[in-house]
Amino acid sequence: MKMDVIWAKSPKIGIGHAVAKFGDDSLLLSSKKIGRRYRLIIGTDQDKRKEEDSAAKVTDVVTSAPERDKMDYQTIATLVKKEVEHLRKELESKAVKSGQAATDLGIMLEKLKVPKSLLPPIMEKLNEEDASHNLSSKVKTLLKEMLPESRDIDLSIKTHVLCGNYGSGKTTVALKMMLKLMSLNQAVPVLVSYKQHHSASRCSIKELSKELDIPIFEIDDVATLKKVEEQLADDSVLIVDTSTGNIKDEIPKLEKELLSVNFHLVNAFDSFSAAQEHFLNEANWSSIIVTRLEMNSNHWPLIHSLVKAKIPLSLGSISPSLNSQLVSLTKEDLINQLDLPNLSEFDHCRLNVASKAA
């Protein structure tokens, strides 16, 4: 028996080709779909084919049935190995092209100043066809999907604790929150400086208290803070400005002892990723308040932190001046402040990607 391979769109069409080519005695040995086509292994009566070509011959060697079966299996195995090797080469070729296209897309994203830490999740949702002049808008659309939603400060919660790195603007935010609530007459705010042992912080708080003619209570233990909370009037809100030291241990204590509390992470817009990540996992943050929005700095560290931590945005500060009020902050505000370069200067790279995708 001789083995032949036929490729066809369907087994039925392949068998038709086999009968037309080898005759009615063609035998279908196997059929398998590979890609969009079917591979058929056809067995034909080799002796009959020889008889049709010439008169019968007496062969010197008579092969027994078991030996002939063994040869048939060896032939089939050889054909299968060849097809597997052919398929492997096709897949490797496609993988190389796909990998090259992904590399080119990565290059264009880097030209947009997207940090390497954000490349994997963004590239996962893009393909080589997205490497075009519209890439900037597509990146912004993806960021809008990846960034957390905004959340208003819930004034039904009695206590709001502000935490953050030293110099992030916690005290300024606390004062602005207090002044805003006083102007709206929505709630009577009480401002507490909690465990502010740093001499510069203490001096700054006392100066601001005197300048604004508003009381700022200094408290050094959670028991006293709890008593203040318990004595609040129904329409009062307690704003707690904390120190940066030992936050990991202090937050669980405050959460346990205080009756109604939300924790807000105050983060400077221009701070480094490492400084932001130091606090991200320290508490179940109710929201993040962003300061120094007026700074013309690299916004990607904050974008990366928000994508990773999914902390809701709430308020923003656009100036350290107490005359400048806090503003509601949304993910659209952050995205619109991203200075993504114009991709028109990258035409050569774009055309290169397009040609490989074709």
User: Which domains can be identified in the chain, with CATH numbers?
Assistant: 2-54+63-91 (no CATH), 96-146+342-357 (no CATH), 159-329 (3.40.50.300)
Written as six digits, the tokens of 278 are 């130091």
Parallel, antiparallel, or unpaired: how do β-strands 37-44 and 27-34 relate?
A: antiparallel
Whole-angstrom Cα distance, residue 6 to residue 111?
49
Most confident range (mean pLDDT) of 247-256, 276-285, 343-352 is 247-256
Which pLDDT band, with edges at 50, 70 and 90, does 332 fall under?
A: very high
User: Helix (H, G, I), strand (E, B), or coil: what is residue 242?
Assistant: strand
Most confident range (mean pLDDT) of 221-230, 247-256, 332-341 is 221-230
Task: For residue range 48-75, list pLDDT tens digits in order.
Answer: 555 555 544 444 444 444 554 555 566 6
Model pLDDT, residue 53? 53
Whole-angstrom Cα distance, residue 331 to residue 145?
10
Quick check: 245 pLDDT over 80? no
Q: Which range (88-92, 219-223, 224-228, 251-255) has the least confidence?
A: 88-92
Quick check: 312 pLDDT over 90? yes
Whole-angstrom Cα distance, residue 75 to residue 91?
24
CB-based contact 293:317 (threshold 8 Å): yes
Query: Structure pTM?
Result: 0.65
Burial class (CB in 10 A: 0-12, 13-18, 19+), 255: middle
240-246 average pLDDT score: 80
More confident residue, 351 or 139: 139
Model pLDDT, residue 228? 92
Sorted by sequence, the CB contacts under 8 Å of residue 100 that are 6+ apart come out as 356
Model pLDDT, residue 197? 65
Quick check: 184 pLDDT over 70? yes
Mean pLDDT in the chain?
A: 78
Model pLDDT, residue 137? 85
Model pLDDT, residue 73? 62
Quick check: 113 pLDDT over 70? yes
Q: How many residues does the chain have?
A: 358
More confident residue, 79 or 107: 107
Model pLDDT, residue 109? 82
Which pLDDT band, with edges at 50, 70 and 90, does 339 fall under?
A: confident
DSSP 109-161: HHHTT--GGGHHHHHTT--GGG-STTHHHHHHHHHHHHSPPB----TTSSEEE
Model pLDDT, residue 97? 44
Model pLDDT, residue 88? 65
| % the chain with pLDDT above 90 | 21
| % the chain with pLDDT above 70 | 72
Question: Which residue, 146, 150, 143, is CA-closest to 312?
Answer: 150
CB-based contact 300:115 (threshold 8 Å): yes
Torsion of CA 180, 310, 127, 37, to 10 degrees: -140
Q: Nearest 5°: phi and psi at 39? A: -105, 120
Task: For residue range 198-241, list pLDDT tens digits in order.
Answer: 655 666 777 777 777 778 888 989 999 999 999 888 888 999 99
155-178 average pLDDT score: 89
Quick check: 314 pLDDT over 90? yes
Q: Which amino acid would we find at residue 75?
A: T
Q: Which range (11-15, 252-256, 354-358) has the least confidence?
A: 354-358
Q: At what angle do helices 300-309 and 273-280 cross, to 10 degrees?
A: 20
CB-based contact 278:294 (threshold 8 Å): no
